[in-house]
Amino acid sequence: MAMTARQRAKVSLYIQAGIFVVAVAALILATDWKTVGNSVFNFGKIGPMFPGIILVGLKNTLIYTALAFVVGLSGGLLLALMKLSTFPLYRWIATGYIEFFRGVPALLVFIAFGYGVPLAFGVSWDVNIVVMVSLGMVASAYIAETLRAGLQAVPKGQMEAARSLGMPMWRAMVTIVIPQAFRIVLPPLTNEVILLTKDSSLIYVLGLTASQYELTKFGRDGISSLGAGLTPLLVAGAFYLVITIPLSLLARKFESRSARTKR
Amino acid sequence: MNDVVIPSRNHTGSVHAAGVSIKDLRKSYGSNEVLKGISLDVAPGEVVCLIGPSGSGKSTLLRCVNLLEQPNEGTIHVGGFEATDLDVDIDKMRRKVGMVFQQFNLFPHLNALRNCTVAQTKVLKRSQAEADNVAQANLDRVGLGHLADRFPDQLSGGQQQRVAIARALSMDPELMLFDEPTSALDPETVGDVLSVMRNLAKEGMTMLVVTHEMGFAREVADRVVFMDGGVVVEEGVAEHVISSPTQGRTKEFLKRVLDPTHIEIAE
């Protein structure tokens, strides 16, 4: 007897699940667990990574990300406002900046700021400053586009109402439009922080001293000193999740909240 | 509705009303001329309703008065200000001119009370306590004093519009502009908003109202101005213009508005 459309759909789902299970089983069977166990899941030898990976690696990753986010947010807001300006020069500068820094790899920006700028101006920068400026500048390009979209999503009537009450342009922006724009972009902005957290791993190119190691560099250092294969990197990776998963949950919470209040 | 209780003017003192004088006003968007030389005087304390088909330029005219639209030619005087003077302090002038929008445009991130205080504290530099008092008095005035802590999305359309009126009144304006204040409302909430406006008119506020509410215009307006195609076609005492229009276009428009079943093509 022929199946109904609903039965066919159900069977199709069972087949898909079956294929998935078979594929996973094949991967598990094909894996050389002895070798992998020694070089990736060798948790017996990673004891010396603690508590350094938390007190140095995690701490520095958080600091670098926070510094870069502060610069990225203020720079991004400035760029977003410039991009929406009626004065063409501002728009051109903002567009050029955003296209450039979104277009080149963050790694190259780090090298430019870590080595190029000190050479060019004869200054030597603290690593915190280099990270703050270079990662912040990259972040501001991304955040600018997010904020621009948020500012444009605030209905025009809000600005008109604020101006009608006698508020000057800047006051209407600061008090009425920008707070609403931030509310709108809170979920994508949280995602920017997650990206920033991971991009902070690229500053290893600056040649950090041991106390400046962030998570990835700390993990790489462990590879050469502990003899546990790649296991230290796995541990470092897990600590990134400790930062990023709560942020993801936060973003989801913001999303559901804004969906509920339709604001 | 019985929650609309509007005390007489003793809350904020007597209204200090300003007049408006518009001369030969022209406004174009590109090659599309929306206002083709409009002249209109509104005396202090007078209530004037602008009526006319959509696209006739009445909203644009209203928005020119507080410079939300920049006119191309002509002059506008509002109270002691010449709005069309390029040197005019726009923000200072706008403090005297309350504006009520079709879509309310309340600030969604602020509750009703803060909607009414934000410009008082930031623009008029009133203390928070004083601003709160003024805002509460004006929310009471529009019958919503008990909903001061609600956010806009927790209010009905009619309630939002009354908060918007309270917000404008909290700046102690000398002139109120209404841009189709009831067009976006559910029919059952229109009455509350109109009764707030009626009381405002009784208190002696100068009001310029773009509206399709002919009953309101007939009852409350001192004068009705019928616009079509960017010009004033007919103006005069409300009762006369609405009940016995002299111009063909006015007659045609009123016939359609007062007897909507005769509309052949829906807008």
- Selection from A173, A198, A203, A183 nearest residue A80 by Cα: A173
H helix runs in B58-145, sequence order: 58-65, 90-95, 112-122, 128-141
Pull the structure tokens for residue A217. 């560099």
Per the CB < 8 A criterion, the answer to whether A176 and A162 are in contact is: yes
Instruction: Give contacts of B109 with chain A, Cβ < 8 Å.
Output: 179-180, 183, 263
The stretches of chain A forming alpha helices (DSSP H) are 5-30, 33-39, 52, 59-83, 88-103, 106-111, 117-121, 127-153, 156-164, 169-172, 178-199, 215-226, 231-261
**Are A163 and B122 in contact (CB < 8 Å)?**
no
- Nearest CB among B94, B108, B122 relative to A163 is that of B94
pLDDT at A260: 54
- Reference B173, options B63, B83, B90, B96; nearest CA is B96
Chain B environment of A158 (Cβ under 8 Å): 105, 107
Across A44-58, A246-260, B182-196, which has the greatest mean pLDDT? B182-196
Is residue A170's pLDDT more than 70? yes
pLDDT for A205-242, tens place per residue?
887 888 888 888 888 888 888 777 888 888 889 999 99
pLDDT tens across B162-199, in order? 999 999 999 999 999 999 999 999 999 999 999 999 99
B126 contacts on A by Cβ (under 8 Å): none
pLDDT digits (tens, 9 = 90+) for B76-108: 999 889 999 989 999 999 999 999 999 999 999
CB B208 within 8 A of CB B65: yes
| Residue B204 confidence class, pLDDT cut points 50, 70, 90 | very high
Contacts of A161 in chain B (CB under 8 A): 99, 101, 105-107, 164
- B residues 77-96 lying closer than 8 A (beta carbon) to A: 91-92, 94-95
Measured between alpha carbons, how far is residue B136 from residues B98, B256, B259 in Å? Answer: 17, 41, 41
ipTM above 0.85, yes or no: yes
Taking an 8 Å cut-off on Cβ atoms, the answer to whether B119 and A179 are in contact is no
